[in-house]
A and B are shown apart, each in its own frame.
Chain A
Amino acid sequence: MIRVVLPGHLRALARAGFEVQLEIVGPVTQRSVLDALEAQYPMLRGTIRDHVTHERRPFLRFFACEEDYSLEPPDTPLPDAIASGKEPLLIIGAIAGG
């Protein structure tokens, strides 16, 4: 079971709690996690990555085990702690403003 923490506004859209849990068959990567997330919560499609290109939206970042994986290729395996559910994948909105 993969754990994902969403930003507050996306939790509201998905009507989900602080953390969501996803079943993933096969390698655990950014792509497979987002595919599973969008399948379980289709109202999030287009809010994290582009509908067509699947590029990450510019003001969102992906953190795993205190490391920024945002710039990693989408099929790079995420750490074992994410794959085992020991740690959550964090989807974070950039803190912008002054």
Chain B
Amino acid sequence: MSQVRVLVGTRKGAFVLTSDGKRQNWDVSGPHFAGWEMYHLKGSPANPNRIYASQCSGWFGQIIQRSDDGGKTWTQPGTPPGEKNAEPAGPPKGESNKFVYDTSAKTGKPLTTHMWYDGTQHPWEFKRVWHLEPSPTDPDTVYAGVEDAGLFRSTDGGQNWQELAGLRGHGTGPHWQPGAGGMCLHTVILDPSDPKRIYIAISAAGAFRTDDGGKSWKPINKGLHSQYIPDPNAEVGHCVHHVAMNPSRPGVLFMQKHWDVMRSDNAGDLWKEVSGNLPTDFGFVIDVHAHEPETIYVVPIKSDGEHFPLDGKLRVYRSKTGGNEWEALTKGLPQSNCYVNVLRDAMAIDSLDKCGVYFGTTGGQVYASADAGDNWNPIVSHLPAVLSVEVQTLA
């Protein structure tokens, strides 16, 4: 019997929602790590019982948590509860939250500053992990997208992290500037057909790609047009909110930019706008149907000044043509007086035959559709503000 497990990160803890393949009745577990900001949780495709979680706090900083039993119990990787530090000769413990930017000579281009809001240079300062992306093949390998923007990798199950410094060092790093939410690396996409190809996106620098496993990177922002920056067609400086890909067609990418919904058919080399008939093309989330790679979903938000749905109506928009032609999905969603937001990592899609679509709101609702978006129901309605939603399809 199929089962789905929805992993929800909120401003005040994490929740694990489980259901059978019908996706009508749900068990809710949590809050895990009550009181902490849970930016993101994601399971390993290679071992679904392994889940990585980013836990953070303005007081106590960053923590990485890992579960090896599907979210029932958690530990900080490499530091089992009650185990004291190793002898001096042994490996150090308590390093799973140590994210140190690589400025060593071997990376070639030590980089210590980026552009601040006022145009001056500002030191790179680690703040938090926004996104964890486990390897599709190795449960011990996981990538972390962090603020201030950088990409880290662990190959030992999250115990230790090393920066892929070629991203910050490729040349445009000193020109990156924070968006309103900070200078975060929020999207990490691993190409399942090519282990050396990785896509990432940064607010507000843009999208980048490596074809050599992270050694070298290039901006992939051609075709993006952002009229609110000094050069609207600049190589970097675009506020990309999220990027999505269907694993069966890894060269095709869909992007929700600050304004504009975009697609690329050549691995990001060139983008074209597909906002079409959307009522507003501002938004944060974007995702792709599990089995129909031309079917995509967004949640339009009124504007960058008003982060809530247009006219107080919470509507998911679906395009079955890869963009341009969009239909509003409203059945089961509030169609009046709704003023929540849906943040960039707060939509996910399962891979059951009739794929399920899930999203969470800053009002604490998690909505699910078991029929690819035609009908919606809230799984839970009163959580803290939802930061992220991921789903695991379990055999």
Task: Tell me the nearest residue of chain A to B82, going by C-beta.
Answer: A15
B-binding segment of A25-33, A42-50, A77-85: A42-50
Give B contacts to A, CB under 8 Å: 35-36, 57-63, 76, 79, 81-85, 92-95, 97-98, 100
Task: Tell me the nearest residue of chain B to A50, going by C-beta.
Answer: B61
Question: Main secondary structure on chain A at its contact with chain B?
Answer: loop
Contacts A9-B35, A9-B57; is A43 near B62 (CB within 8 Å)? no
Which of B57, B79, B100 has a CB less than 8 Å from the CB of A51?
B100
* Residue in A13, A43, A47, A52 whose Cβ sees the most chain B Cβ within 10 Å: A43
Q: Which bracket fits the contact residues of A?
A: 20 to 34
A10: CB under 8 A from chain B?
yes
Residues of chain A contacted by B59 (CB below 8 angstroms): 7, 9, 57, 59-60, 93-94
- Shortest C-beta distance, A10 to chain B (Å), equals 6
Residues of chain B contacted by A39 (CB below 8 angstroms): 84-85
Contacts A39-B84, A42-B79, A46-B94; is A52 near B100 (CB within 8 Å)? yes
Alpha-carbon gap, A41 to B76, bound state (A): 12
Q: Are A42 and B94 in contact (CB under 8 A)?
A: yes
List 7 A-B pairs, minimum CB-CB distance, nearest first. Answer: A42-B94, A45-B94, A42-B93, A47-B60, A59-B59, A51-B98, A42-B85
Residues of chain B contacted by A93 (CB below 8 angstroms): 59-60
Alpha-carbon gap, A21 to B148, bound state (A): 36
A38: CB under 8 A from chain B?
yes
- Shortest C-beta distance, A95 to chain B (Å), equals 10
Give A contacts to B, CB under 8 Å: 7, 9-10, 13, 15, 38-48, 51-52, 57, 59-60, 93-94, 96
> Other than the known A40-B85, A43-B94, A47-B97, what 15 A-B pairs have Cβ atoms closer than 8 Å?
A7-B59, A9-B35, A9-B59, A13-B60, A13-B63, A38-B94, A39-B85, A41-B84, A42-B79, A42-B84, A43-B79, A43-B93, A45-B93, A47-B61, A52-B98
Alpha-carbon gap, A27 to B364, bound state (A): 50
Residues of chain B contacted by A47 (CB below 8 angstroms): 60-61, 63, 97
Alpha-carbon gap, A42 to B79, bound state (A): 7
Which of B60, B76, B85, B92 has a CB less than 8 Å from the CB of A10?
B60
Contacts A9-B35, A38-B85, A96-B58; is A45 near B95 (CB within 8 Å)? yes
- Shortest C-beta distance, A82 to chain B (Å), equals 22
Task: Tell me the nearest residue of chain A to B75, going by C-beta.
Answer: A43
Residues of chain A contacted by B60 (CB below 8 angstroms): 7, 9-10, 13, 47-48, 57, 60, 93
Residues of chain A contacted by B100 (CB below 8 angstroms): 51-52
Residues of chain A contacted by B63 (CB below 8 angstroms): 13, 47
Q: Are B81 and A44 in contact (CB under 8 A)?
A: no
Alpha-carbon gap, A93 to B57, bound state (A): 11
Alpha-carbon gap, A7 to B205, bound state (A): 37
Task: Tell me the nearest residue of chain B to A42, going by C-beta.
Answer: B94
- Shortest C-beta distance, B125 to chain A (Å), equals 10
Alpha-carbon gap, A10 to B33, bound state (A): 11
Residues of chain B contacted by A41 (CB below 8 angstroms): 84
Which of A10, A40, A45, A59 has a CB less than 8 Å from the CB of B84?
A40
Alpha-carbon gap, A28 to B83, bound state (A): 24
Task: Tell me the nearest residue of chain A to B78, going by C-beta.
Answer: A42
Contacts A9-B35, A51-B98; is A46 near B85 (CB within 8 Å)? no
* Residue in B61, B93, B97 whose Cβ sees the most chain A Cβ within 10 Å: B61
Residues of chain A contacted by B76 (CB below 8 angstroms): 13, 43
